[in-house]
Structure 1
Amino acid sequence: MNPKNAQSEQPPRAGRSEPFPSGRLTFLSPRPLPTGLPPVDHGHAVGEVNGGYLDFGTGVTPVFGWQATLGIPFFCFLLFAFFLPFIVFLGGFSFGNGWEDALWGWRVTFDYAFELAFWACSFFLLLGLGIWYRDHLKLESVIPTRFNRQCREVCFVPEGEKTPIFVPWEELVAWVTEAQGVTEYGVQRQYGFGIGFYHPATGEKYTLEFETYGQSQAISTWEAIRAYMEYEVHTLKEIQDPLELQGPDDPPWEGVHVFRNARKRLHEDYREGKRGVLYLSGWYLYHLMTFWTLPNRLVEWEVKKIKRMSWKTLPKAMAEWSEPLPEEQWAKPSEELKRQSKRVLELQKGDPQRPVTEIFAQVCEEFSGEASLTA
């Protein structure tokens, strides 16, 4: 989380959009209203969830990240070192003078292709591991953004600082961004999700942002946080297991248990006729190319290491603030949030296809009008 100088702008309000030169920013809060989208942490940004708090920004690499890091270089090595010489062999046999030309072409191609594939794929493997290691080192000094639902507060520790900043939950600003630009490959569209606040003492603006696959994924990430804070979800599995591959007693990350559960479900679907032999073969081929259960084991190792590091770097004030409170001391949502949330749900029920940002804008307009009349 980096500070930015506060700029004069209209106060943020849920549903309001602000254009900028390459796109648009749309606010989802303050006043965390229900979005109606499924609460799913698509980017695996949530690291830990328990009865008192949720940590955001220290999630582990999903298993697909490790599969891509290991599997893509290996696949490219096999493609260039073995498949390409085989194609040359077939070409020599079909268009040359039989076996002699085919074997000569295969041998020459294999000698060059094997060495080139080995060094090129080794480079990309080391590059991928280097990027992972760089990001992993950041976790040694990064302190998570923590959402405490018992206090209904959010704790931030800006980069390079050790003093935590506590922000009321209902005053936190969240937004989604949509930007596009023209490149040599055509129009590129990007999406992101962000949260931020103004420092109560200095007036500095602090923001935390990351990219998402699309606008709905960004809103779903916010919904996962909102649903946790409003006691609608309670575990990491509920927001990070959309494929339901974790059993009741399984840990909430993509370890070896997820691989075994996926294989068990695959064979059940095959026996019931839901999956064919081609899908079954493709599943096994994919996991053989991505080193079987090694990516899952790396995820398990990474989870344990991150947990050890996070406890070492946590400021004392933040650790004390994170201690569970007696239930009678839990903070309650404001009456205004309750009324606005109820109105949002009514509008969503009346028109489920209507964009949630439009509903937010209407509700905020309605209640701002009521406030002005009351005043």
Structure 2
Amino acid sequence: MVLALGGSSAESWEFAVDSFYAVWGYALFMWFAGSAMCFYVWLQAHKLFTKVIPTRFNRQRREVCFMPEGATQPLFVPWESLSAWVVQGQSATQYGITRHYGMGMGFMHEGELVSVEFQCGALQLAIANWEAVRGYMEYELNDLHAIQDPLELQAPGDPPHEGLHTFRNARASLHRRIREKEVGWIYGFFWYVYHVMTLWTLPNHLVEWEIKRIAKVGRKALPEAMREWSEPLPPEQWAKPSAELLRLSAKVKALVKRSPRRAITEIFAEVNRP
């Protein structure tokens, strides 16, 4: 800047040094404050493992188990009486419009809504979360691999989280694709550049450490009623879907087969239209 105004290189260097010393204290404070805030959020999220019992889905019984906050006994609700929703909101500031998405499910109990809700990164992700749950309960999805590993980054026997094995499988897949001429060396070069810029395997090591910490901390013990409810049933005792659900499911599948690129929300709306 000083050079642009006609100053010498020495004056420019002095200006840069003075600017650095003028702001480094504020920058260091902001870094510590931001790190402390992130650590607090992370710690609070980990404490939930010892405080919250997650909602459980039992497709053999075709029931959902809720454990509301502060309750001493779980609530069991038939799967087909469960309500689910996806919400979208937006807020405007001087910097632009920010959109928010979320997904929730619940039911009415003694005149009050018992529900669980969580934020999602996009409307499609919110719908996908519900579709994963619905697909599991209707025996269309039987394992995590069907919905969690479209890039085949997990070998048989690998744990479901994205740890070191994920990185190694991705690198092996890259080398295979290069050998088979599926991608070129330029693609491989930028693959390595990207992972070097994202600290190589450090994120995967952090995931492995976090998984071990969660296992060490443990989770909140399940009530006896929930443990008994979670026990498997013999096939002859499995609950059956209602005739109405089978009719609607068949109609949805027919519409999806006819228009595979059509939004699933439009198909659901058409099926439920009077």
Q: Identify the match of residue 14 of structure 2 among 91, 98, 104.
A: 104
Q: What is aligned with 2:100? A: 190
The match for 2:90 is 180
Letter of the aligned partner of 1:172 in structure 2?
L
TM-score computed with the length of structure 2 as normaliser: 0.85
Number of residue pairs the alignment of both structures matches? 271
Q: Equivalent residue of 1:231, what SS? A: coil
Cα deviation code 1:154-173 (max 9, x no counterpart)? 00000111210001111111
Alignment partners' CA distance in 2, 1:329 and 1:151: 8
Q: CA deviation at 1:214?
A: 2.5
Tell whether 2:52 aligns with 1:117.
Answer: no
Structure 1 residue 187: Cα displacement: 3.1
Deviation by residue 1:223-262 (Cα, 9 ceiling, x = unmatched): 1111111222222233233433111121000111112223
Instruction: State whether residues 148 and 154 of structure 1, in contact with CA within 8 Å, keep that contact through their aligned partners in structure 2.
Output: yes
**Alignment partner for residue 335 of structure 1, among 243, 256, 260?**
243
Structure 1: how far apart are the matches of 2:98 and 2:20? 39
- Structure 2: state its 5+ residue gaps: none
Shift of 1:183: 2.6
Are the structure 2 counterparts of residues 132 and 203 from structure 1 closer, same or farther at C-alpha, using a change threshold of 3 Å?
same
Q: Distance in 2 between matches of 1:342 and 1:107?
A: 71
Deviations 1:70-128 (A, max 9, x none): xxxxxxxxxxxxxxxxxx8xx76996434x44553454344445444333222212221
Secondary structure of the 1:132 match is helix
Q: Secondary structure at the match of 2:134?
A: helix
1:283 corresponds to which residue? 194
Q: Is the 8 A contact 1:175 1:195 kept in 2?
A: yes
Q: 1:361 aligns with which of 266, 269, 272?
A: 269
Q: Distance in 1 between matches of 2:6 and 2:150?
A: 52
* Percent identical residues: 48
Match of 1:205 in 2: 113
* Between 276-285 and 153-162, the greater mean CA deviation after superposition: 276-285
Out of 110, 127, 133, the position equivalent to 1:219 is: 127
Which residue of the partner structure matches residue 167 of structure 1? 77
State whether structure 2 residue 170 is matched by structure 1 residue 252.
no
Against the structure 1 CA distance between its residues 151 and 319, is the aligned structure 2 distance closer, same or farther, given a 3 Å change threshold? same
Conserved 8 A contact 2:52-2:69: yes
* Residue of structure 2 equivalent to 1:127: 37
Opposite residue 274 of structure 1, the aligned amino acid is: G
Counterpart amino acid of residue 8 in structure 2: N
User: Which residue is equivalent to 1:299?
Assistant: 207
Cα distance, 1:216 vs structure 2: 1.9
* Residues 17-51 of structure 1: per-residue CA shift (max 9 Å, x gap): xxxxxxxxxxxxxxxxxxxxxxxxxxxxxxxxxxx
Question: Taking structure 1 as reference, are residues 112 and 318 closer, same or farther at Cα in structure 2, changes over 3 Å only?
Answer: same
Name the structure, 1 or 2, with higher relative contact order (CA <8 Å, separation 6+).
Answer: 1
Q: Which amino acid aligns with 2:138?
A: E
Query: Is the CA contact (8 Å cut-off) linking 1:192 and 1:212 kept in structure 2?
Result: yes
1: CA distance between counterparts of 2:23 and 2:170? 36
Against the structure 1 CA distance between its residues 336 and 256, is the aligned structure 2 distance closer, same or farther, given a 3 Å change threshold? Answer: same
SS in 1 for 2:53: coil
Q: In 1, are the aligned partners of 2:49 and 2:219 still within 8 Å (CA)? A: no
Q: CA deviation at 1:363?
A: 2.5
- Given that residues 106 and 114 in structure 2 are in contact (C-alpha distance below 8 angstroms), is that contact kept between their aligned partners in structure 1? yes
Find the counterpart in structure 2 of residue 324 from structure 1. 232
Per-residue deviation, residues 130-175 of structure 1 (Å, max 9, x unmatched): 1111122122111000001111110000011121000111111111
